[in-house]
Structure 1
Amino acid sequence: MANAIATVLGRQTRVVFRRELKSYFLSPIAYVFGVVFLGVVLFLSAQASIVHGAPANMQPFFLFLPWVFLMFLPGLTMRLWAEERKLVTIELLLTFPVRTSQVVLGKFGAVVTYLAFILVMTLGLPMTLGAYGTIDWPPVLGAYLASLMFAGSFVAVGMFWSSLTKDQIVALLASIMSLSVLFLLGYPSLIEFFGQNLPMWLADVLNGISPFKYFLSISRGVFDTRDFVYFACFCGFFLYANVLVLQIRREQKG
């Protein structure tokens, strides 16, 4: 999978992508993150099924995933640029014969690929459930795709905040606060509250900017092109903002 993604990327982007992805699989922090992430999401999914007496299905798993992303991804992304700035390696990286956009895309692609590997490791859950019943695989695979795109949107936001500061704690807190707002704007109960207390156009705008709304749509098996366009535009916006921040810094250093 990593090789397939690297092939799609340009040559210079592939260099950054492979460098970053290699650093994840050589870092004990990445393994700790993966184990804890998998443990938490699988535990919460199992508890939900037991508590609610629900039949064996994947719904609890996918409903808890966004919350786990909200808890863990800011901690994963806070170091992407902040640590490079703190160690002064970002200046060295930006002096390489590579465009700023290629560096950003390489880092983004590496994180998303790492998260894809973690999600693939959870495929044992639907396979196990399928051994005891029937699993409708197309919606399940669609929900996995929605989960990866949702995670990618959070990574793009986290990378943006990390590019603004060399303090990882500041990047962490800024990511948590902004992602919490974006996430909750698409939460069904809050959507209902907005619909009852705000002008309809404003309620629609607030709901429309939340990644959670589009995640729910795809994870339910509704494949609307607009949902995929949203995630592409959302990630593109924050990655472009990330490029602008780094480009300004590169020009200042130059």
Structure 2
Amino acid sequence: MDKVVELAADAVADIPEGATLAVGGFGLCGIPTVLLAALYEQGAGGLAIVSNNCGVDGLGLGMLLGAGRIARATGSYVGENKELARQYLAGEIELELVPQGTLAERLRAGGCGIPAFYTPAGVGTQVAEGGLPWRYDADGGVAVASPAKEVRDFDGTEYLLERGITTDYALVRAARGDRHGNLVFDRSARNFNPLAAMAGRVTIAEVEEIVRPGELDPDEIHLPGVFVQRVVPLTWEQAADKHIEKRTIRVEAGR
């Protein structure tokens, strides 16, 4: 039952070339920075990533992206990542953009063993009709386009069929956890982390604070340990090393 792996490098050592990974986080909030850095050092490439976005240039998934190690990305938006936009438009990466709520439900469905579900999101758009560019060729033409999806009427409303997502591995970050893999996430840092963890066949969690089994109140656990295979405890310095994607300053009246 003890799932603790002391070193991040050991936890990601068996992730192979071409693996599929679900990665938690939203922008730079709640991303598994230590595991991603270890994976960068490990060297695996040709990766297919499922994450809300692909980090920012040089941070998080942006490190793997900048090194040319991501072959395909599934997410909700390009965000502030100029390198992702460049690679996509240059035909160097395949990119599947998914409505954000649909992406969340696809991950949850995959983790629950649900192969597919119907949703109204995307009906009447190219999400349903197909033709969204997934990959461009060197001349700017569409080399790979999204397929059309099944649309079905339920009680006079149209819904389209979306597939659940499962991946070989998942990388997530939690605020607290025990040695059995039960995890608690902190406020907005929860975001896609529990959903990504559910979708991975082998889920690796970096945890800011490890407690003994039984110390977590069952009612405060956000993700049961059944979904987690490896737990990596962070040092104080690693836990405190958090980046802010955009800093904003409130200007008080009269100043």
Normalised to the residue count of structure 2, the TM-score between the two structures is 0.22
Structure having the larger proportion of residues in helix: 1
Higher relative contact order by CA 8 Å / sep ≥ 6: 1 or 2?
1
